[in-house]
């Protein structure tokens, strides 16, 4: 009897709490009904359009003629062009393979078990390999210029290389901005502040239009790589500031303990400071990276064919009644999968680093 008094009160069953939350008071009842009505009036037409009245097959223009719902036939028929752009059709297996390799490697790299130094080597080998396969021009593969590249492989290569390259650069910039060497500090501050002060669009225009006026032809990289470098530098400036926020939160005792143990500057940063500083700022790093993933779509303004621009190109076919909504929904789903997947990964990473401290 006395035992019951000292036991903590048991939490109510989940279903009880749910019912209480939804219908516990007149106001709750009213709100529940309102929200249910709103959801229904939005979801019902959407479902009707996307599923019940939609047509998927056959994948030809005739299929969509008298359809009130979505014309997924178009997406089915044009998926190759949306995903791979104007890359020669008979060579399409190459971008397909590139996407498969990149996605598989991404999936592989997200597992904590894979995080060893050899993973960096795998990527350093894989990225040039992927680019060589896209280019061709060796071993019987025909040469395909970057102007013919398009769609998902462009988005993936830009995303992976720009963000993968920006991250280490950002760590160096963040450390450099806190350096006690005035020259290094000034350089890093200048780079970060200048880059952040310019819109990405203007940086892309500078890279694609201004650079050719300034640099001799021989020194000028391909337009694709100019855009890639612009994206990389832009992302690095933002990531550097996020990482610097984490560095500022590190207590001085951590530096002193490492110093007293005889760890030098770089080992202290690599093993003591950066792992903790980055763990602190995972949420803002995640947002920044997701924004950067989506920023890759801006390369279309300088004439590169990312997913969105190759989708637009596909819509230009006069045979079809231009089902733009369906096409953009398809592309949105791909971006969603990329960004959502990355967001989940970051969440797992965060709870992992919370567990350990």
Chosen residue from 260, 316, 318, 319 binding other proteins by CB under 8 A: 260
Q: Which stretch binds other proteins (CB under 8 A): 93-101, 227-235, 261-269, 333-341?
A: 261-269
Residue located via tokens 């990405």: 200
118 belongs to the binding site for other proteins (CB under 8 A) = no
Nearest residue to 176 (alpha-carbon basis) of 164, 161, 186:
186
Q: How far is the CB of 274 from other proteins (least distance, A)?
A: 10
Using the minimum distance from each CB to other proteins, give the nearer residue, 239 or 280.
280
- 257 lies in the binding site for other proteins (CB under 8 A): yes
Q: How far is the CB of 271 from other proteins (least distance, A)?
A: 6
In the bound state with other proteins, the residue whose beta carbon lies nearer, of 69 and 245, is 245
Looking at residues 272 to 331 of the shown chain, list those that interact with other proteins (rule: CB under 8 A): 272, 275-276, 279
Q: How many of the other CB atoms lie within 10 Å of CB of 98?
A: 24
Taking the least distance from each CB to other proteins, the nearer of 231 and 258 is 258
Query: Among 230, 178, 224, which Cα is nearest to 204's?
Result: 230
351 lines the binding site for other proteins (CB under 8 A): no
Residue 55: strand, helix, or coil: strand
Say if residue 58 is preceded by a cis peptide, omega within 30 of 0: yes
Residue number with CB closer to other proteins (16 or 248): 248
Among the residue ranges 232-240, 248-256, 291-299, 301-309, the one whose residues contact other proteins (CB under 8 A): 248-256
**261 forms part of the interface with other proteins (CB under 8 A):** yes
In whole angstroms, how close is the CB of 284 to other proteins at the nearest point? 19
Distance CA 25, CA 9 (A): 23
Point out which span in 165-173, 178-186, 254-262, 285-293 binds other proteins (CB under 8 A).
254-262
Distance CA 52, CA 37 (A): 20
User: From the centroid of its chain, how far is CA 6?
Assistant: 51
d(C-alpha 40, C-alpha 27), whole Å: 20
Q: Can you tell me whether residue 150 is helix, strand or coil?
A: strand
Contact segment (CB under 8 A) with other proteins among 166-174, 182-190, 271-279, 321-329 equals: 271-279
Side-chain half-sphere of 302: how many Cα atoms within 13 Å?
A: 27
Interior CA angle at 294 toward 291 and 295, to 5°? 80
Binding interface with other proteins (CB under 8 A):
253-254, 256-264, 267, 271-272, 275-276, 279, 353, 356-357
């Amino acid at each position: 009897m006395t035992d019951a008094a000292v036991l903590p009160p048991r939490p109510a069953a989940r279903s009880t709490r749910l019912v209480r939350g939804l219908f516990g008071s007149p106001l709750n009842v009213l709100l529940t009904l309102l929200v249910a009505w709103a959801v229904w009036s939005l979801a019902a037409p959407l479902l009707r359009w996307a599923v019940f009245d939609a047509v998927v097959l056959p994948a030809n223009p005739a299929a969509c003629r008298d359809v009130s719902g979505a014309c997924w036939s178009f997406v089915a028929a044009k998926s190759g062009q949306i995903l791979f752009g104007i890359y020669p059709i008979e060579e399409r297996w190459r971008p397909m393979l590139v996407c498969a390799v990149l996605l598989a490697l991404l999936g592989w790299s997200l597992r904590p078990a894979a995080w060893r130094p050899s993973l960096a080597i795998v990527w350093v080998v894989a990225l040039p390999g992927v680019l060589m396969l896209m280019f061709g021009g060796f071993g019987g593969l025909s040469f395909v210029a970057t102007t013919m590249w398009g769609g998902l492989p462009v988005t993936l290569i830009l995303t992976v290389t720009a963000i993968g390259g920006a991250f280490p650069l950002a760590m160096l910039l963040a450390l450099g901005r806190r350096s006690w060497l005035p020259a290094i500090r000034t350089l890093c501050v200048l780079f970060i502040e200048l880059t952040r002060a310019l819109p990405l669009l203007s940086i892309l225009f500078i890279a694609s239009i201004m650079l050719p006026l300034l640099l001799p032809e021989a020194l000028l990289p391909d337009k694709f790589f100019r855009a890639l470098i612009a994206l990389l530098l832009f992302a690095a400036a933002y990531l550097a500031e996020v990482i610097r926020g984490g560095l500022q939160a590190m207590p001085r005792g951590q530096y002193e303990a490492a110093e007293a143990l005889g760890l030098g500057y770089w080992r202290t940063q690599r093993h003591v400071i950066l792992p903790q500083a980055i763990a602190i700022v995972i949420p803002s790093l995640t947002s920044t990276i997701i924004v950067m993933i989506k920023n890759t779509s801006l390369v279309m303004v300088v004439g590169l064919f990312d997913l969105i621009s190759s989708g637009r190109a596909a819509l230009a076919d006069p045979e079809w009644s231009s089902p733009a909504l369906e096409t953009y929904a398809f592309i949105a789903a791909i971006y969603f999968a990329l960004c959502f997947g990355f967001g989940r990964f970051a969440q797992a990473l965060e709870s992992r680093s919370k567990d350990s401290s």
